[in-house]
Amino acid sequence: MKRIKTDLLVIGAGSGGLSVASGAAQMGADVVLLEGHRMGGDCLNYGCVPSKALLSAGKVAHGQATAEVFGIANVVPQVDYGAVMEHVADVVAQIAPMDSQTRFEGFGVRVIREYGQFVSPHEVLAGDHLIRARRVVIATGSSPLVPPIPGLDDVPYLTNETLFDLREAPEHLLIIGGGPIGMEMAQAHVRLGCKVTVIEGARALGRDDPELADLVTGRLRDEGVEIAEEALVARVSGRAGAIEVAAQDGRVFSGSHLLVAVGRRANTERLNLTAAGIETTKTGIRVDAGLRSSNSRVYAIGDVAGGLQFTHVAGYHAGVVIRSALFGLPSRATDAHIPRVTYSDPELAQVGLSEAEAREIHGDKLEVVRFDYAHNDRAIAERKTGGFAKVMVVKGRPVGASIVGHQAGELISLWALALANRLKMGQVAAMVAPYPSIGELNKRVAGAYFSPRLFDNQVVKRVVRAVQRWLP
């Protein structure tokens, strides 16, 4: 048995764990990093990176099929699904060196390719290594949630961890789950020539503002995706190439392949958390505002902490933990300024409070301002006029922003900045955006907050007339 003492032990080499390990090591801490599977975690290997690469391929195919509006003849795209998936694999391979063991060892991190489990409140066993650390950061992420649907164990099904291994296009892809993953993969596959049916037990994109979600689901339906809502799955049956999903209301959906995309579960089962006195909840490890677990020496970050499950949240958590674990400074995490994006076409992005949430909290104090893509000149030039931005404002400060449309995921960053720094609408309106750009839309929606105050205000009009009489 090899015994190791270290300042910081990081369990999990996904985005959050890698950020903590590299940052701490480069600032002088002695760091050990454990990873029993792939460096880079879910985001690099099964999530963010491959899914966006697949969406990009679908967007190219869709562009060929809908070029007529630009004066270019539409063509039926000739899709080689196997080659598309090789493109996806190549994108992952190009990014992988940034998350590699070699790179992090170059930062001074000791990388051990084993899973870790607690054997006491202060010690973790990883293979033949027994590690005692001053502080431990659990960053083990999450895995696809597979619900206990009758018959599911008897038929072949895909999750995001196996979908990208396909090399032959599904003839008809059934997707259980109408959240962001399900809807993104539905659009990518229908654009690549597959038939697609989404089976959702409630409302598709149900976490999002219905006004925005309806625009996205409407676009997917127009492109050929069948979206069955209020379709709680009762059972699954069939065999490879011939699968049936039966809903509780009697509807039956038939297809060749099945993708299960109903959510995520925190990866805690290997950790033996009881030995460390670490409490859990239904969603993950119980943490306080500083991301400490019930064992004060142990932090949990990212998906395993049971909150928002996004790569950028894990990266944000890393900074919170480094401040506390390395410098002993008070540090708290909040999700008030954390954006989320569904990378469909059009994209759907949200930060802060939605309109419904803001009305419930702020009542009559709330003002909602909006601006349509149809009035943005760059959007008109690119034929991307479907969509709008709306910002929820209380006493001159934004408390939330919702955007659906072209590059919504890029546009939302400005509102995340505004919420993080408590900016006022006037500060956003003072920004000078280049013309013509999609980014100008943010300035225009901020301007929409002031327009009635300036142009529909009789006091302003009287002042202007009075000043004009006095000016030489």
Q: Output the known binding site for FAD.
A: 52, 116, 140-142, 303
Structure tokens at 455: 């142009």
Structure tokens at 330: 């008070």
Separation CA 277–CA 414 (nearest Å) = 41
Cβ 204 vs Cβ 217: under 8 Å? yes
Structure tokens at 457: 């205000």
Indicate the helix (H) or strand (E) that contains 449: helix 440-455
Structure tokens at 386: 């479907």
Cβ 40 vs Cβ 96: under 8 Å? yes
Which stretches of 95-222 are assigned E, i.e. beta strand?
A: 110-112, 117-120, 123-126, 129-138, 142-144, 172-176, 195-199
In sequence order, the β-bridge partners of residue 122 are none
Work out the number of other CB atoms within 10 angstroms of the CB of residue 58: 24
Separation CA 225–CA 221 (nearest Å) = 5
Tell me the binding residues for NAD(+): 177-184, 200, 263
Cβ 167 vs Cβ 80: under 8 Å? no
Residues 6+ apart with CB under 8 A from 445: 369, 370, 371, 389, 390, 391
Cβ 37 vs Cβ 112: under 8 Å? no
CA dihedral 114, 270, 92, 147 (to 10 degrees): 160
Q: How far is Cα of residue 147 from the mean position of the Cα atoms in its chain?
A: 21
Q: How far is Cα of residue 420 from the mean position of the Cα atoms in its chain?
A: 18
Work out the number of other CB atoms within 10 angstroms of the CB of residue 279: 12
Cβ 38 vs Cβ 32: under 8 Å? no
Separation CA 9–CA 321 (nearest Å) = 12
Tell me the binding residues: 52, 116, 140-142, 177-184, 200, 263, 303
Cβ 370 vs Cβ 388: under 8 Å? yes
